[in-house]
């Protein structure tokens, strides 16, 4: 476990964003009813200022002090940004709010030549970004956290927790301030004071949290790490000694990584449904590009084709800056897929179609590529729906729709349906009959033929079901054919109520 | 050997979209098929414009009929405004026309450039026999149209452009149609189809009916004496 403590997060953030004025810097915020300092930088620290001091007092002591109001959101954002950037070391990164991160580097350190080299790399990069930090590696989250914050930074081997923690103050155990104060009242100041005490009386007096935190720090009890981002089941990554910037290089890298993932995917009989390409820019920015598929995929060329479309569709260009120095391809969602025979050119029609759907979805967005499905409803606007093609299953309901249509001899349906029925003004000969003429989109149509009514009940079981409708197929004198309906029936009309309204719902060929 | 090379040369010489024989799609109405020289050419781009705003549904009927005849996977690319103004293609209605909704993919695009891209992409897919691109007003980019024609020629798919109003741009489409609704006798719906450009022969206009039961177009009656007598027009290379 690696604990990273950004000791000057708030002041470093402000210093990064503006010219260095040289004046000591402090951040203040409201605590209770008073403005107090919440963070100070090194220069202010040397002047004897510290967090918790009243703002007025600090100003009186040092009139030249540069004070800035606190912005907790910006600090949290910066912390998340750094957490994203730390993904280059390990996928298991957790935020240790408000100003720290915990990285599970088990099995990752050797990639950098050991824990010491990794720590050095991390702190050097952060220092270059203008962030002061303190890093400790230890066998448990608690021990690493304590070591990073209480002056024992560095790398500590597993099993050394006891020796490491003994001299540290009790506050290092991540206990509440009130608990630490009451422990201090009975003379317990350092962790070492407490390790060998009988456990039952401690628990009875201070609650179970104290010993649990102690056990966790001593690695006697497991503490789960909650990563900020879900961990992908399949990951492949590539570091570049020389940063890459060209789009073709990025795509080539994606393909190479996909080749490597393919082996792992095949071994477990999986295919990727959602893939993410993470690009780490040299200046610390992280770019994530995700693509979905309509069925499990493991072919590298296909994955490359998906990212080609995604890159082409990016509203802002890839913006490589001074280049990317690392790329990672992760399969976010994997699904079992049948083993494929290699070498036979895909003659399968559905497969070709799925490929087309994936390409179109990657470029235009999956909401824009749709398939029509039939639903079990008598309401025309619900009877047919369109769903994203990548999400629809094999059962589209059209077979049962045809069976239903033939069994009840359903009246013809229009070729085009308006998303919202459009209101029209009508003149009808008899209240229940079809209109004689009507005005739609400011043009008058004289009805030549009419067929109907076809009565479609509203969803009477629902509060918002609407009234029953009488549908008419109507042709005007020029041959235009409309699907009109009257919302509401005259028999249901309340005395003195307004006459039912008419609408155009669709058009026939 | 020489014969073989000659054959290959003949294949190369054929301008895209002008192949005869099985590459044509019989509409069913004999008079129309004759003027078209054996049906609507596959592997080519055809442009169908509605006679006016209100006639889009009739033009859609013509397009749906052609798509039903090509009987395979179809892709319907439409600009967002088209679905808002003229309504979205309705599954049960398409099914009545013989276009199986389960084999249709609909794509909504925000701009003309995406429309052309999506159409080309779909044309290059071997599982797709018919690609319909529905657009609102505005000119068609001649280069994009040319690209679509070439893509259609490559895979043998049918490219149809459905416009909300006739355009006045000189397009390189194999045929251009203006389709509107026509007054019916109260039984079968009819449409007035005007062939205003035909690369392989004369123009004409007919009143067509789509017959659900046979799944083909039939000629209802001549609106007026139509087809000019066929005259010989040597195939020429299209720019």
pLDDT digits (tens, 9 = 90+) for A468-487: 889 999 999 888 999 999 98
* Per-residue tokens: B49: 């414009």
Average pLDDT of chain A is 86
A183 located within any domain = no
| Three-state secondary structure call for residue A155 | strand
Q: Do residue A396 and residue B101 have CB atoms under 8 angstroms apart?
A: yes
Chain A residue with CA closest to B128: the answer is A353
Q: Give the C-alpha separation, A130 to A133, whole Å.
A: 10
Closest CB to B181: pick one of A357, A479, A506.
A479
Record: contact A417-B90, CB cut-off 8 A: yes
User: Does any CB of chain A come closer than 8 Å to the CB of residue B95?
Assistant: yes
Q: Does the CB of B128 have a partner CB in chain A at under 8 Å? A: yes
State the pLDDT confidence band at B235, using cuts at 50, 70 and 90: low
In whole angstroms, give the CA distance from residue A120 to residue B100. 64
Q: Is B163 touching A (CB cutoff 8 A)?
A: no
Kindly report the nearest CA distance between residue B2 and chain A, in angstroms.
32
* pLDDT the model gives residue B9: 65
- Give the pLDDT of residue B239: 44
Tabulate helix, strand, coil % of chain B (nearest 5).
35, 30, 35
Name which residue leads in pLDDT, A275 or B171.
Answer: A275
**pLDDT in the model for residue A347:** 52
Residue A425 has pLDDT above 80, yes or no: yes
Q: What is the 3-state secondary structure (H, E, C) of A214-272?
A: HHHHCCCCCCCCCCCCCCCCEEEEEEEEEEECCHHHHHHHHHHHHHHHHHHHHHHCEEE
Could you tell me whether strands A481-487 and A384-388 are parallel, antiparallel, or unpaired per DSSP bridges?
unpaired
pLDDT, residue A415, reads 92
C-alpha dihedral (A198, A203, A205, A206), degrees to nearest 10? 120
Query: What pLDDT does residue B234 have?
Result: 53
- Contact present, A424 and A500 (Cβ < 8 Å): no
DSSP label of A209: H
**The pLDDT of residue A319 is above 90:** no
In a domain, A438, yes or no: yes
Return the number of other C-beta atoms located less than 10 Å from residue A274's C-beta.
16
Which pLDDT score, from 0 to 100, does residue A53 have? 87
B contacts of A506 (beta carbons < 8 Å): 87, 90, 93
H or E, element range at A126: helix A115-128
Buried b (16+ CB within 10 A) or exposed e, A452-488: bbbeeebeeeeeeeeebbbbbbbbbebbbbbbbbbbb
Is there a contact between A480 and B189 if contact means CB atoms under 8 Å apart?
no
For A380, which residue in chain B has the nearest alpha carbon?
A: B92
- The answer to whether A371 contacts B102, with C-beta atoms less than 8 Å apart, is yes
Query: Is residue A86 situated within a structural domain?
Result: no
Q: How far apart are CA A485 and CA A470, in angstroms?
A: 5
Q: Does B107 touch chain A (CB under 8 A)?
A: yes
C-alpha–C-alpha distance, residues B161 and B170, integer Å: 14
Asked if B117 reaches chain A (Cβ–Cβ under 8 Å), the answer is yes
| Sequence-separated contacts (24+) of A73-79 with Cβ below 8 Å | A74/A13, A75/A9, A75/A10, A75/A13, A75/A99, A78/A9, A78/A13, A79/A6, A79/A9
CA separation for the pair B12, B8 (Å, rounded): 6
**Alpha-carbon gap, residue A283 to A322, rounded angstroms:** 8
CA distance A258 to A124: 31
- Do residue A420 and residue A404 come from a single domain? no
pLDDT at B72 over 80: no
Cα distance between residue A236 and residue A232, in whole Å: 10
CATH number at residue A325: 3.30.1490.100
**Alpha-carbon gap: A316 to the closest alpha carbon of chain B (Å):** 17
For B56, the closest chain A residue by CA position comes to A509
CB contact under 8 A, B183 and A357: no
pLDDT of the residue at B226 = 47
Q: Which residue has the higher pLDDT, B232 or A63?
A: A63
Q: Which residue has the higher pLDDT, A496 or A450?
A: A450
DSSP β-bridge partners for residue A5: A100, A134
With cut-offs at 50, 70 and 90, classify the pLDDT of residue A170: confident
Other CB atoms within 10 Å distance of the CB of residue A200: 9
Inter-chain contact B106–A386, Cβ cutoff 8 Å? yes
B30 touches chain A (CB under 8 A): no
Chain A contacts of B183, Cβ < 8 Å?
448, 475, 477-479
> Residue B120: which pLDDT band, with cuts at 50, 70 and 90?
very high
- The answer to whether residues A339 and A238 belong to one domain is yes
- List all residues 6 or more positions away from A63 whose beta carbon is below 8 Å from its beta carbon: none
Tell me the domains of chain B and their CATH numbers.
28-221 (3.40.50.300)
Residue A205's pLDDT band (cuts 50, 70, 90): confident
The pLDDT value given to residue A159 = 80
Residue B12 has a pLDDT of 54
Residue A102 falls within a domain, yes or no? no
Asked if residues B29 and B219 have their Cβ atoms less than 8 Å apart, the reply is: yes
pLDDT in tens, A110-160: 888 888 899 998 999 888 888 888 999 988 898 999 999 887 788 888 888
CB atoms A359 and B181 under 8 Å: no
Mutate to test the interface with A, among B127, B130, B157 (most CBs of A within 10 A): B127
Q: Which of A309, A356, A410 to mutate to test the interface with B (most CBs of B within 10 A)?
A: A356
- B164 to chain A nearest CA, in Å? 14
Average pLDDT of the residues in A380-391: 87
Percentage of chain A with pLDDT > 70?
A: 97
- pLDDT value at B3 more than 90: no
- Beginning with the edge strand found earlier in the chain, give each strand of the sheet holding A66-69 in spatial order: A34-40, A25-31, A66-69
For residue A226, is it within any domain?
no
Residue A386 and residue A285 in one domain: no
Q: What is the dihedral of CA A271, A273, A279, A284, to 10 degrees?
A: -120
Statement to judge: residues A238 and A330 lie in one domain: yes
Residues A498 and A461 in one domain: yes
Q: What is the distance between the alpha carbons of residues B157 and B236, in angstroms, rounded to a whole number?
A: 22
Tokens (6 digits) for B117:
């891209």
Q: Which of B106, B121, B181 sits opposite A359 (nearest CB)?
A: B121
Q: Is-contact B58 B191, C-beta < 8 A?
A: yes
Looking at the structure, tell me whether residues A488 and A421 fall in a common domain: yes
What mean pLDDT, rounded, does chain B reach? 82
Give the closest-approach CA distance of B194 to chain A in angstroms.
16
Instruction: Indicate the residue of A372, A405, A415 with minimum beta-carbon distance to B104.
Output: A372
| Together in a domain, A240 and A335 | yes
> In this complex, which of B83, B105, B190 lies closest to A369 when CB atoms are compared?
B105
Is the pLDDT score of B18 beyond 50? no
Give the tens place of pLDDT for each residue, A73-85.
Answer: 999 989 988 998 8
Range in A220-234, A329-343, A384-398 with the lowest mean pLDDT: A329-343
Higher pLDDT, B122 or A494: B122
Burial of B72 (C-beta count, 10 Å sphere; 0-12/13-18/19+): middle
Cross-strand pairs, A68: A27
B186 contacts in chain A (CB < 8 Å): 448-449, 475
Counting one residue from chain A and one from chain B, the pairs whose CB atoms sit within 8 A come to 176
CA A346/CA A335 separation, integer angstroms: 21
Out of B96, B181, B184, name the one closest to residue A413 (CB): B96
B228 has pLDDT over 80: no
Q: Are A94 and A102 in contact (CB under 8 A)?
A: yes
Predicted local confidence at residue A316, as pLDDT = 67
Q: What is the DSSP string of A26-84?
A: EEEEEETTEEEEEEE-HHHHHTT--TT-BHHHHHHH-TT-EEEE--HHHHHHHHHHHHH
The two counts, helices (H) then strands (E), for chain A are 16, 20
Check CB contact under 8 Å for A356 and B88. Answer: no
- CA-atom Rg of chain B in angstroms: 17
Domain for residue A426, yes or no? yes
ipTM of predicted complex: 0.83
- When pLDDT is cut at 50, 70 and 90, the band that residue B237 belongs to is very low
In this predicted structure, what is the pLDDT of residue A61?
A: 87
Chain B: residue nearest A387 by CA?
Answer: B106
Q: Are residues A330 and A243 in the same domain?
A: yes
Q: Is residue A326 part of a domain?
A: yes
Q: Are residues A265 and A312 in the same domain?
A: yes
Q: Please tell me the predicted confidence (pLDDT) of residue A340.
A: 52
Q: Cα dist. B49→A336, A389, B52 in Å?
A: 47, 28, 8
Write down the residue that tokens 């967090």 correspond to.
Answer: A51
Task: Tell me the pLDDT tens digit for each residue of A179-202.
Answer: 888 888 888 888 888 888 888 888
User: How do beta strands B216-221 and B204-211 pair?
Assistant: antiparallel
The neighbouring-strand residues paired with A135 are: A4
Q: Which residues of chain A does B64 touch, with a Cβ-Cβ cutoff of 8 Å?
A: 415, 509
3-state secondary structure at position A180: helix
pLDDT reported for residue B13:
55
Collapsed DSSP state (helix, strand, coil) of residue A495:
coil
Q: How far apart, in whole angstroms, are the C-alpha atoms of residue A333 and residue A329?
A: 12
Same-domain check for residues A498 and A432: yes
CB-CB contact of B42 with B68 (8 Å): no
Q: Per-residue pLDDT averaged across A232-258, rounded?
A: 89
Enumerate residues 6+ apart whose C-beta is below 8 A from A451.
Answer: A411, A472, A473, A474
Domains in chain A: how many in total? 3
Local confidence band at B201 (pLDDT 50, 70, 90 cut-offs): confident
Between CA A474 and CA A64 the distance in angstroms is 84
Q: Do A355 and B191 touch (CB under 8 A)?
A: no
A185 half-sphere exposure, CB direction, 13 A CA radius: 8
**The pLDDT of residue A393:** 67
Q: For residue A437, what are the CA distances in angstroms to A251, A425, A507?
A: 61, 9, 16
Answer yes or no: do A404 and A421 share one domain. Answer: no
CA distance B143 to B113: 11
10 Å Cβ neighbour count for A249? 16
Q: How far apart are CA A163 and CA A184, in angstroms?
A: 21
Asked whether the beta carbons of residue A419 and residue B84 sit closer than 8 angstroms, the reply is yes
CA A256 to chain centre: 26
Pick from A370, A480, A507: CB nearest B87: A507
Separation in Å, CA of A288 to nearest CA in chain B? 24
Contacts of B102 in chain A (CB under 8 A): 371-372, 396, 398
Q: What is the pLDDT of residue B57?
A: 93
Return the half-sphere exposure (C-beta side, CA atoms, 13 A cut-off) of residue A424.
26
Rounded Cα distance, A428 and A446, in Å: 11
- Examine residue A92 and state whether it is found in any structural domain, yes or no: no
Range of the structural domain that residue A294 is part of? 234-343
Which residues in A lie closer than 8 A to residue B93 (C-beta atoms)? 412-417, 506, 508
Do A416 and B89 lie within an 8 Å CB cutoff? yes
Angle at A289 between CA A282 and CA A274, to 5 degrees: 135
Domain boundary among A381, A408, A435: A408
Question: Which of A360, A445, A448 has the most B C-beta neighbours within 10 Å, making it the best mutation to test the interface with B?
Answer: A360
Judgement on whether residues A394 and A424 belong to the same structural domain of the protein: no
Residue A453 CA to residue A484 CA, distance in Å, equals: 10
d(CA A447, CA B5) in angstroms, rounded, equals 64
* Predicted confidence (pLDDT) at residue B90 exceeds the cutoff of 90: yes
How do residues A1-49 score in pLDDT, each as one tens digit? 899 998 888 888 888 887 766 788 889 988 888 888 888 888 888 888 8
A252-300: pLDDT as tens digits: 999 999 999 988 888 888 888 889 999 998 888 888 888 888 888 888 8
Which member of B64, B94, B128 has the closest CB to residue A356?
Answer: B128
B56 contacts A357? CB cut-off 8 A? no
Q: Which residues of B touch A475 (CB under 8 A)?
A: 183-184, 186, 189
- Put simply, the chain B residues between 33 and 92 with a CB less than 8 A from any chain A CB are 53-58, 60-62, 64, 73, 75, 83-84, 86-92
């Amino acid at each position: 476990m690696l604990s990273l403590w950004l000791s000057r997060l708030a002041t470093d953030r402000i210093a990064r964003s503006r010219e260095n004025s040289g004046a000591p810097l402090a951040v203040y915020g409201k605590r209770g009813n008073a403005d107090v300092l919440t963070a100070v930088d090194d220069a202010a620290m040397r002047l004897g200022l510290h967090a918790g001091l009243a703002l007025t007092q600090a100003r009186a002591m040092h009139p030249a002090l540069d004070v800035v109001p606190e912005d907790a959101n910006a600090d949290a954002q910066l912390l998340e940004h750094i957490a994203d950037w730390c993904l280059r070391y390990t996928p298991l990164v957790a935020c240790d709010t408000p100003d720290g991160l915990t990285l599970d580097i088990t099995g990752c350190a050797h990639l950098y030549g050991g824990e010491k080299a990794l720590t050095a790399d991390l702190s050097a990069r952060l220092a270059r970004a203008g962030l002061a930090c303190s890093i400790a590696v230890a066998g448990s989250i608690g021990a690493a956290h304590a070591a990073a914050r209480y002056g024992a930074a560095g790398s500590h081997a597993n099993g050394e927790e006891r020796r490491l923690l003994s001299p540290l103050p009790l506050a290092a155990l991540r206990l509440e301030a009130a608990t630490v104060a009451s422990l201090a009242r009975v003379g317990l100041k350092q962790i070492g004071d407490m390790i060998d005490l009988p456990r039952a009386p401690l628990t009875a007096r201070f609650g179970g949290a104290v010993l649990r935190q102690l056990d966790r720090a001593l690695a006697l009890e497991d503490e789960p790490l909650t990563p900020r981002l879900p961990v992908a089941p399949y990951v492949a990554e590539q570091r570049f000694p020389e940063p890459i910037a060209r789009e073709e290089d990025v795509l080539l890298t994606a393909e190479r990584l996909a080749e490597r993932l393919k082996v792992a995917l095949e071994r477990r009989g999986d295919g990727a449904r959602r893939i993410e390409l993470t690009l780490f820019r040299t200046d610390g920015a992280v770019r994530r590009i995700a693509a979905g598929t309509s069925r499990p995929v493991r072919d590298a060329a296909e994955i490359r084709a998906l990212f080609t479309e995604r890159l082409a569709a990016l509203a802002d260009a890839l913006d490589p800056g001074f280049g990317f120095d690392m790329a990672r391809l992760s399969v976010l969602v994997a699904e079992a897929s049948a083993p494929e025979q290699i070498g036979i050119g895909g003659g399968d029609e559905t497969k070709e179609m799925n490929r087309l759907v994936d390409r179109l979805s990657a470029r235009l967005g999956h909401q824009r590529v749709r398939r029509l499905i039939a639903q079990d409803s008598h309401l025309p606007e619900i009877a047919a729906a369109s769903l994203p093609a990548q999400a629809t299953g094999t059962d589209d309901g059209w077979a049962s729709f045809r069976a239903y249509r033939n069994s009840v001899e359903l009246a013809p349906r229009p070729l085009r349906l308006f998303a919202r029925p459009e209101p029209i003004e009508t003149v009808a000969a008899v209240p229940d009959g079809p209109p004689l003429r009507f005005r739609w989109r400011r043009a008058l149509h004289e009805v030549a033929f009419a067929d109907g009514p076809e009565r479609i009940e509203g969803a009477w079981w629902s509060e918002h079901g609407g009234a029953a409708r009488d549908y008419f197929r109507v042709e005007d004198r020029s041959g235009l054919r409309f699907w009109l309906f009257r919302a509401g029936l005259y028999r249901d009309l309340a005395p003195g109520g307004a006459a039912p309204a008419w609408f155009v719902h669709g058009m026939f060929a | 050997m020489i014969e073989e090379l000659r054959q290959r040369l003949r294949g190369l010489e054929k301008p895209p979209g002008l192949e005869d024989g099985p590459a044509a799609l019989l509409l069913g109405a004999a008079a129309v098929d004759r003027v078209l020289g054996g049906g609507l050419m596959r592997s080519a781009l055809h442009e169908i414009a509605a006679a006016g705003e209100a006639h889009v549904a009739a033009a859609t009927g013509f397009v749906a009929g052609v798509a039903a005849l090509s009987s395979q996977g179809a892709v319907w690319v439409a600009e967002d405004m088209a679905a808002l103004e003229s309504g979205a293609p309705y599954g049960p209605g398409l099914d009545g026309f013989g276009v199986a909704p389960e084999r249709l993919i609909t794509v909504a695009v925000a701009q003309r450039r995406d429309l052309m891209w999506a159409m080309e992409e779909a044309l290059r897919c071997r599982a797709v026999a018919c690609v319909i691109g529905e657009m609102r007003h505005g000119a068609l980019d001649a280069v994009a149209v040319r690209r679509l024609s070439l893509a259609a020629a490559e895979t043998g798919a049918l490219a149809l452009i459905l416009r909300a109003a006739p355009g006045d741009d000189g397009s390189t489409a194999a045929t251009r149609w203006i389709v509107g609704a026509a007054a019916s006798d109260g039984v079968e719906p009819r449409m007035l189809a005007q062939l205003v450009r035909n690369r392989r022969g004369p123009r004409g206009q007919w009143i067509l009916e789509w017959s659900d039961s046979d799944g083909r177009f039939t000629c209802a009656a001549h609106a007026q004496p139509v087809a000019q007598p066929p005259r010989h027009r040597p195939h020429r290379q299209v720019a």
